[in-house]
């Protein structure tokens, strides 16, 4: 059977093979697709700054901000923990761990209402795979434990979809998947 690590490796290789100029076009298509996302002004939405061959969510984040979203970005606090810091326009970005950049310690910590998750792979049932650190798994568990019910939106290129992902007890399924092909909801009993 294919393990999570095998699938992660294969799908990241696929993503790495996308030409940079195609990645930019696909990221712009994701920003267009984000128009279908329904939220009220003031909604706290966590995005991320791209690393490696990830989609570049900056065009999407700019559009969400124009529509009244309050943006935040993940920062790595330690090997197991990420927090979400207020992403104020033009505020200085610092090194926030694992090759990521984000707001510094002075920025307010926020609980996102909507989380845009970076993925290595996803399936048609809303199961997802990240980079294997469990950072998002734990951050989501923490939000749920505090009585929050964040809307989880996986962000990836469509070629990262696989037939089936093994889901473990700690895996919380996605509500939506956003790719260059559009924003698609998963049927999810909550």
Q: Confirm or reject binding of residue 11 to ligand FFO (CB under 6 A).
A: no
76, 84 Cβ separation under 8 angstroms: no
Is residue 17 a contact residue for ligand FFO (CB under 6 A)?
A: no
The sheet that has 128-129: what strands, in order across it?
128-129, 121-123, 161-162
CA distance 185 to 13: 26
CA dist 145 and 134 (Å) reads 16
Report whether 184 contacts 177 (CB < 8 A): yes
Binding to ligand FFO by residue 181, rule CB under 6 A?
A: no
Q: Is 133 in the site for ligand FFO (CB under 6 A)?
A: yes
Please say which residue, 74 or 173, places its beta carbon nearer to ligand FFO.
74
Structural tokens at position 23 = 């990645």
Q: Choosing among ligand ATP, ligand FFO, none, which partner's interface includes residue 122 (Cβ < 5 to 8 Å by kind)?
A: none
- How many residues make contact with ligand ATP (CB under 6 A)? 14
Q: Is 107 annotated as a binding residue?
A: no
Give me 65's structure tokens. Answer: 């901000």
Candidate residues 76, 110, 140, 143; the one interacting with ligand FFO per rule CB under 6 A: 76
Min separation Cβ 149 and ligand FFO, Å? 21
What is d(CA 22, CA 142) in angstroms, rounded to the nearest whole number? 36
Site string for ligand ATP, 59-98 (x = CB under 6 A): ----------------------------------------
Pair 26, 18: CB distance under 8 Å = yes
Residue 48 site contact among ligand ATP, ligand FFO, none (CB < 5 to 8 Å, cut-off depends on kind): ligand FFO
Residues 112 to 151 in contact with ligand ATP, rule: CB under 6 A: 129-138, 141
Q: 113 CB contacts (<8 Å, ≥6 apart)? A: 39, 43, 44, 45, 148, 150, 151
Query: Would you tell me which residues interact with ligand FFO (CB under 6 A)?
Result: 8, 12, 48-51, 54, 74, 76, 82, 98, 100, 118, 130-133, 135-136
Query: Would you tell me which residues interact with ligand ATP (CB under 6 A)?
Result: 4, 129-138, 141, 170-171
């Amino acid at each position: 059977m294919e393990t999570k690590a095998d699938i992660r490796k294969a799908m990241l290789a696929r993503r790495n093979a996308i030409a940079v100029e195609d990645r930019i076009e696909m990221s712009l298509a994701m920003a267009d697709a984000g128009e279908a996302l329904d939220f009220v002004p003031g909604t706290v939405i966590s995005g991320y700054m791209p690393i490696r061959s990830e989609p570049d969510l900056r065009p999407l984040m700019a559009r969400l901000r124009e529509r009244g979203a309050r943006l935040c970005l993940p920062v790595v606090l330690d090997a197991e923990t990420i927090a979400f810091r207020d992403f104020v326009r033009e505020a200085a970005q610092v090194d926030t761990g694992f090759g990521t950049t984000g707001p510094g310690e002075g920025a307010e910590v926020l609980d996102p209402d909507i989380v845009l998750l970076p993925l290595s792979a996803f399936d048609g049932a809303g199961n997802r795979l990240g980079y294997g650190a469990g950072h998002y798994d734990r951050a989501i568990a923490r939000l749920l434990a505090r009585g929050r019910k964040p809307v989880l939106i996986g962000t990836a290129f469509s070629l990262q979809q696989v037939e089936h992902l093994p889901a473990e007890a700690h895996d919380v399924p996605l509500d939506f998947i956003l790719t260059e092909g559009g924003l698609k909801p998963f049927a999810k009993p909550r």
